[in-house]
Structure 1
Amino acid sequence: MLSLAERALSDLRSELEESSAADAVLRQELRRAVAGARDANQEVEAARELVEARESVVAQVELDLLRLERSASAIEKLSPFDFVVCPRCMQRLEGRPVQEDHCIVCLQHDPPDESVDPAAIQQTREALERQLQDAQAVREADAQVLAAARDRVQQADFLTTTLRRELDVQTRDIVAPRFDAIAGSSARVASLRASIDAVTQLRDAWARARSINQEVKDLKATRTRVQTDVKSRTLALAARGQLVDDLSQEFFTLLAELHLPWVQTAVIDPKTYLPVIDGNPFESLQASGGGITTCVSIAYSLALLEFGLTHPDVLVPSLLIIDSPRKALGNNPDDQERGNRIYDRFKALADAYGDRVQLIIADNDTAPIPSDTFSTIPLDYNRPMVPGVVHPGPEHVHRAEHSYEA
Structure 2
Amino acid sequence: MDTLKARTAEYDNVSSFLAASDPRSDDELRAELQQLRDTLERAESALASLRTELEEQTAADTALRDELQNAIRAARQSEQEVSAAADLVEARHAVVAQVPLDLSRLSRSATAIDQFSPFEFVVCPRCMQSLAARAVEDGHCLVCLQPDPVEGDIDPAAIEETRTALQQQLEDAQRIQQSDEAHLQTAQERSQQFSFVVTSLRRELDAQTRDAVSPRFDAIAEASSRVAALKASIDAITQLREPWARVRIIDADIRSLKVNRRQINKDIKEKSEQLKASQTLLGDLSAEFSRLLTSWNLPWVDTAVIDRDFYLPVVNGRPFESLQASGGGIATSVNLAYSLTLVAFGLDHSDVLVPSLLVIDSPRKAFGNNTSDRQRAAEIYSRFSTLADAYGERLQLIIADNDPPPITSDSFGRVDFDYENPMVPGVDHPGPDQVTRIESQSES
Structure 1 length as normaliser, TM-score? 0.48
Structure number with greater Rg is 2
Greater RCO, 1 or 2 (C-alpha within 8 Å, sep 6+): 2
Structure 2 length as normaliser, TM-score? 0.44
